[in-house]
Amino acid sequence: MAHPVPPRGDGGLTRDLLLSGRFADQIRLMQPDMRLLSDAQRHSSLQSILADRPEHGSGLWVFAYGSLIWNPAIHVAESRLARVTGWHRSFCLATRAGRGDAETPGMLLGLEEGGECVGAVLRVAEEHVATELDILWRREMVGHGYIPRWLDIESLDGKTMGRAIAFTIDPNGPNFAGDVPERELIRRIANARGMLGTSWDYLVNTRHGLRELGVADPLIERIGAIIEALGVDI
């Protein structure tokens, strides 16, 4: 039996949850051995990014390649299609809390080096930079999974658009899973479930969000088609 297509949005990961600080508490409860960033570490990471900010005045761009496309949870002034080169979308981050558990870790997307990636860039208005990036860091930098960077972005016809914040995978992080065999990757995505929902919901919502942008990501389309053909418990 194939999975039903879930509704848009993510009822688990909300702006209010991130602002309350309960998101980190829930992860700590579900995965007590996971090393979480302290408030001071998270603040330092954010300030380091802002110190390298390439331009000011009209806000800044955030590159969305996964769930940020369909559930940003931050105020977005504008969204455009964009591409980064030198990085590609990959199911390379294991989760034992959000969309999986200890027995069947879920799989989330990250940017790995090499290739290119088409996604959306989300503009945060200048007057909201401080508040919205704080929320974004509470979401993406709760653990040691990503390395935030400024990446060059361009339109699909090759025109330079400036730079955007992107959350690239930390290959030395404790939850890096870029070497998971494809059969195991498929099994996890088909079956993993955590406090935020299933890994399958994550894939389908990301696929739908990309399709709305006119993007058919080969990896997501192929993995999704395999799971829909085979169904659950594979």
Kindly report the CATH number assigned to the domain that includes residue 174.
Answer: 3.10.490.10
More confident residue, 161 or 10: 161
Residue 78 in domain: yes
65 inside domain: yes
CA 91 to chain centroid: 10
In a domain, 64, yes or no: yes
Parent domain of 144 = 15-95+104-178
What's the predicted TM-score (pTM) here?
0.92
Closest CA to 144 of 40, 61, 38, 73: 38
Task: Read off φ and ψ for residue 231, nearest 5 degrees.
Answer: 80, -165
Is position 3 within any domain? no
Evaluate whether residue 80 is within a structural domain.
yes
Q: Evaluate whether residue 27 is within a structural domain.
A: yes
Q: How many independent structural domains does the chain possess?
A: 1
Using 50, 70 and 90 to split pLDDT, how confident is the model at 227? Answer: very high
Q: How would you class 56 by CB atoms within 10 Å of its CB: exposed for 0-12, middle for 13-18, buried for 19 or more?
A: exposed
Has residue 233 got a pLDDT over 80?
A: no
Sign, Cα dihedral of 218, 106, 7, 25:
negative
Q: What is the pLDDT of residue 2?
A: 33
- pLDDT tens digit sequence for 162-198: 999 999 999 999 999 999 999 999 999 999 999 999 9
Among 78, 127, 140, 154, the active-site one is: 140
Active-site annotation holds for 78: no
Rounded to 5 degrees, φ, ψ at 160 are: -65, 135
Burial class (CB in 10 A: 0-12, 13-18, 19+), 219: middle
Amino acid 232: pLDDT: 57
Residue 209 lies in a domain: no
Average pLDDT over residues 107-126: 98
* Structural domain includes residue 125: yes
pLDDT of residue 55: 74
Question: 74 Cβ partners below 8 Å, 6+ apart?
Answer: 15, 62, 122, 124, 132, 135, 136
pLDDT of residue 5 exceeding 50: no
